[in-house]
Chain A
């Protein structure tokens, strides 16, 4: 129920709607719950609504920390 997935906004539509791309599958969703959605943004999609933006820099930082942990370095 609470599972959501990261998707990329490929096109903004009127009335706070947008087309998102999920591995080549397009779907119309609502972006009414997020501030200033932009084409190219990654958002967390849940029950047809984008509920938050995904921060690409933070994602990269998390992956770097995971690499460090896996390599046994001090994070």
Chain B
């Protein structure tokens, strides 16, 4: 497939890895956080850790929207779905996230709730048009990539006067989460970030400048293919060796400084910054999420259904929180691969294929077993 296969060539990967081994200073460690689950998945799937020198440590970050969604928000979605007048629509991964009382949206569906998996916000709008006597709620989650399609759905719903459509908005923002991680008192020691690629297609590379400057950490925005990740590692090693802390873009084939202005305008028109939002693993993060703009209040499910937010603690045995903060690895969790598996996830990091635990379960644990 064009613009995919070229970035997966094994011979080039081996050559790049060899060059990175020559670039690194053997006297130091390079602790690089890949913020995005997409990178975590690529690193595990293509065995990149095994190609890189031992003193480059790749640390998983909180960049998987399914993983960072707190239980209380999933509980609210389940509560909505169980109402007989509601059809709840969401992207697939969200349906499997475990919530309180061993419930998930899938289990709510088994109890008779009308839960629909959609591929696109357009599908949710069509379900609303087809079911005028039902309230159709789109359970919106995701980073800055999924936010513009939600914005367009709100605009379309208003144009069509779709009175039975609303959005339960849980969109979160990348740069505030990075800042929060770096500012935390128990912050994991990091030397740089592999920055989000598709998120940056929308928001551009500019918003990371403050992170790089304020915390003196280099950020290299990288694509999700294995060669993209390797090139970003090389770029970070060079910056660290030279004492530079800049924002650089490896994924220049799709990311510009200013991003996608049209998409950003639609988001600004329909959504507004929340004062604070709870992330799984990170707790309350100021100015890190979006709510429906007051101009579009008639489509805000939180107002329409008076949904209060309740904090629910994670399962005691689950280490998702520490993994999302970069403090622990999946194999450090005692329920990993035993009680918690992709078929029966206990924690969110095992749910999405981009979650750190799911990536390690599928690709990493055999390597770990071989070297242990």
Q: Residues of A with Cβ closer than 8 Å to B?
A: 1-6, 8, 22-23, 29-30, 32-35, 42, 44, 46-49, 51-56, 58-59, 61-63, 65-67, 69-72, 75
Contact = CB atoms under 8 A, between A and B. Distances in A.
Contact of A1 (B18, B22, B64, B202): B64
Given A2-B198, A32-B152, A33-B262, A48 B252 contact: no
B38 A3 contact: yes
B253 A62 contact: yes
B260 A52 contact: yes
A35 B262 CA distance: 7
Contact of A30 (B65, B120, B202, B262): B120
Q: Is the interface of A mostly helix, strand, loop or mixed?
A: mixed
B120 A33 contact: no
Majority secondary structure, B binding face: helix
A66 B254 contact: no
Contacts of B266: 33
24 contacts: A1-B37, A1-B65, A1-B142, A2-B38, A6-B4, A6-B254, A29-B120, A30-B149, A35-B262, A46-B149, A47-B149, A48-B123, A51-B145, A51-B201, A52-B260, A61-B252, A63-B7, A65-B231, A66-B12, A66-B231, A69-B15, A69-B234, A70-B11, A70-B19
Nearest to B260: A52
Interface string B226-241: 0110010010000000
Contacts of B196: 2
B19 A46 contact: no
A72 B18 CA distance: 8
Contacts of A1: 37, 64-66, 91, 93, 141-143, 145-146, 352, 354
Contacts of A48: 119-123, 149
A57 B250 CA distance: 14
B56 interface: no
Contacts of B64: 1-2
Q: Which 4 A-B residue pairs are closest in the complex by CB-CB distance? A: A48-B120, A70-B15, A52-B201, A59-B253
B38 A55 contact: no
Nearest to B143: A2
A71 B15 contact: yes
B347 interface: no
B63 interface: yes
Interface of B: 1-4, 6-7, 11-16, 18-19, 22, 36-38, 41, 63-66, 91, 93, 119-123, 141-143, 145-146, 148-149, 152, 196, 198-199, 201-202, 224, 227-228, 231, 234, 250, 252-255, 259-260, 262-263, 266, 352, 354
A1 B92 CA distance: 9
A61 B251 CA distance: 11
A8 B260 contact: no
Q: Most chain-B CB neighbours within 10 Å: which of A32, A35, A49, A51?
A: A51
Contacts of A70: 11-16, 18-19
A54 B254 contact: yes
A52 B227 contact: no
Contact of B198 (A3, A8, A33, A67): A3
Nearest to B352: A1
A30 B260 CA distance: 15
B65 A2 contact: yes
Contacts of B1: 5-6, 22-23
A44 B254 contact: yes
A5 B91 contact: no
A19 to B, nearest CB: 15
Given A1-B37, A5-B1, A70-B19, 18 more contacts: A2-B38, A2-B146, A3-B198, A23-B1, A30-B122, A30-B149, A33-B262, A42-B2, A46-B145, A47-B120, A49-B148, A51-B263, A55-B254, A58-B253, A58-B254, A62-B252, A62-B253, A63-B7
Given A1-B91, A51-B198, A69 B19 contact: yes
A56 B252 CA distance: 10
Contact of A2 (B7, B63, B152): B63
Contacts of B143: 1-2
